[in-house]
Amino acid sequence: MTDTASSSLSKYGGGAGAEPPRLATPSGGAKPFVARHPSVLIFIACLALFTIGVTILAEGFGIGVISTSFVKTLGKTLCLCLVALAMDLVWGYTGILSLGHMAFFGIGGYAIGMWLMYARTEIIVTTSLAQAPLPPTPQEISDGIASQIFGVVGASEFPPIWAVAHSLPLQLAAVVLVPGLLALVFGWLAFRSRVTGVYLSILTQAMTLALALYLFQNDSGLRGNNGLSGLQNLPGLGDVPQSTVSMWFLWASAAALGLGYIFCAWIVSGTFGSVLRAIRDDEARVRFLGYSVEGDKLFIFTVTAIIAGIAGALYYPQAGIINPAEIAPIASIYLAVWVAIGGRGRLYGAVIGAAFVSLLSTWFTGGQAPDINLGFYTIQWVDWWTILLGLSFVAVTLFAPKGIGGLFDLIENRRSPDRHGADLGPDPGAHRAREAEK
């Protein structure tokens, strides 16, 4: 077992017959959680300042310097940061390289998208049928909604999967329950069989591919390749401008990211977090010491799937459309690249990586990056961005494994130690050098 894993367990009395740790607030006297972990407070303060700044500069409530489309881009970026937190928790801290968490992200988007599309279409159909000589029956309204939604795939009836699409509370519950149950079942089957490493990554990628291929079919009940569209139009709020709606979603995304960061930091800062790191470093040794490795991995896998589903439910109303291509395995690979570039194993690194790559991708693929004319060839960044991203991932893996977040380590290491007024004399009995490091 590595030194990191050994120290993580021995610090909390890990050993044969030891009581496995439970998810609890770490001991530390009467100090609140944020006081014991100032980095969390710094992150929340930065997030709050960012949100306030965008609000002041945006069109919806501010002076109009930032366009509505860019506000939506920033809101979507916050959602991607939230799913990157989930990826860092399951990969950076637990060592499970999941290539399927963007599937849970997409499921959350489909769940809320079904209600948005149903409710918006219901208003259109009801308004249209109100002009008929006779009042429409509920069945006529239902048939009209089904024809409007599924006419594009040649159907006119609601599939069973849309049974509760009319209910916002039930669809919000589906945002949490469907990704959670899928992760619970998949994780239980995989972890009880002790599938690890690259084999587990392949299984998660296969799950994602199977789900995407199923959703591409027109008879899947989710409009096949057409997906769900018009999600940016909130039902009953047609008179509210998009500049205002975009700010609402930005605030919701920022709140979700802040709460998600606090929750993830709470998990990894306590005893349970030490066990997760030990599982990452030497799973066999942790199991030998009596810890429930499979149970802990299943818990993290399920919780992070739920976080990804919530992030997707906030992302796609800002994107306006969702289709099966959003769930393709390449999306989950991109997610792993974001976390690696930002620095896995540190929550703020995952956020930095997701925000940095997402905004840079928008700049390169949105036609804002100028093309480079080499005379014999013109580099068009729309075509070359994915290659640049892949090379960046390789470079980070080889030369900067700590990612962008590792820059904070360099800054921290340059600080002089607090010697508490003691000199570093050559007295081996005084342990002065050890005191200077505290």
Q: Is 372 exposed, middle or buried (0-12, 13-18, 19+ CB in 10 A)?
A: exposed
Residue 172: what pLDDT? 96
Predicted confidence band of residue 16 (pLDDT cuts 50, 70, 90):
very low
Residue 275: what pLDDT? 93
Lowest-confidence region among 3-17, 145-159, 347-361: 3-17
Predicted confidence band of residue 35 (pLDDT cuts 50, 70, 90):
low
Number of other residues whose CB lies within 10 A of the CB of residue 369: 17
Query: Residue 424 above 50 pLDDT?
Result: no
Residue 19: what pLDDT? 42
Query: Residue 113 above 90 pLDDT?
Result: yes
Predicted confidence band of residue 14 (pLDDT cuts 50, 70, 90):
very low
Query: What is the percent of the chain with per-residue pLDDT over 90, rounded to a whole number?
Result: 47
Q: What is the pLDDT of residues 57-91, one digit of tens each?
A: 998 888 889 999 999 999 999 999 999 999 999 99
Rounded mean pLDDT of 304-313?
96
DSSP code string of 231-276:
TTS-TT-TTS-HHHHHHHHHHHHHHHHHHHHHHHHHHHHSHHHHHH
Q: How far is CA 79 from CA 9, 108, 275, 334, in A?
A: 34, 12, 28, 15
Which comes out higher in pLDDT, residue 106 or 413?
106
How far is it, in rounded angstroms, from Cα 180 to Cα 107?
A: 10
Residue 12: what pLDDT? 43
Give the single-character DSSP code of 229: E
How far is it, in rounded angstroms, from Cα 231 to Cα 318?
A: 8
Q: What is the pLDDT of residues 203-213, one digit of tens each?
A: 999 999 999 99
Residue 354: what pLDDT? 92
Rounded mean pLDDT of 352-364?
89
How far is it, in rounded angstroms, from Cα 298 to Cα 289?
A: 18
Residue 201: what pLDDT? 93
How far is it, in rounded angstroms, from Cα 326 to Cα 307?
A: 17
How far is it, in rounded angstroms, from Cα 322 to Cα 88?
A: 24
SS3 125: helix
pTM: 0.85
Query: Residue 222 above 60 pLDDT?
Result: yes
Residue 9: what pLDDT? 56
Q: For residue 346, which of 303, 407, 299 has the smallest C-alpha distance?
A: 407
State how far Cα 100 lies from the chain centre.
Answer: 12
Residue 322: what pLDDT? 93
Predicted confidence band of residue 376 (pLDDT cuts 50, 70, 90):
confident
Residues 6+ apart with CB under 8 A from 389: 334, 337, 357, 361
Residues 6+ apart with CB under 8 A from 400: 406
Query: Residue 191 above 80 pLDDT?
Result: yes
How far is it, in rounded angstroms, from Cα 280 to Cα 189?
A: 20
Q: What is the pLDDT of residues 245-289, one digit of tens each?
A: 999 999 999 999 999 999 999 999 888 999 999 999 989 899 998
Residue 60: what pLDDT? 82
Identify any residues that bridge with 322 across adjacent strands, giving them in sequence order.
228
Query: Residue 18 above 50 pLDDT?
Result: no
Residues 6+ apart with CB under 8 A from 140: 129
Rounded mean pLDDT of 36-52?
90
Quickly list H helices, 366-403: 381-399
- List b or e across 50-66, with b for residues whose CB sees 16 or more CB atoms inside 10 angstroms: ebeebbebbbbebeeeb
Query: Residue 215 above 80 pLDDT?
Result: yes
Residue 15: what pLDDT? 41
Rounded mean pLDDT of 215-224?
89
Rounded mean pLDDT of 119-146?
86
Residues 6+ apart with CB under 8 A from 370: none
Rounded mean pLDDT of 97-117?
94
Residue 1: what pLDDT? 47
Q: Is 226 exposed, middle or buried (0-12, 13-18, 19+ CB in 10 A)?
A: middle
Predicted confidence band of residue 413 (pLDDT cuts 50, 70, 90):
low
Residue 228, sorted as left (phi over 0), alpha (psi -120 to 50) or beta, turns out to be beta
Which comes out higher in pLDDT, residue 297 or 400?
297
Rounded mean pLDDT of 7-36?
50
Rounded mean pLDDT of 41-53?
95
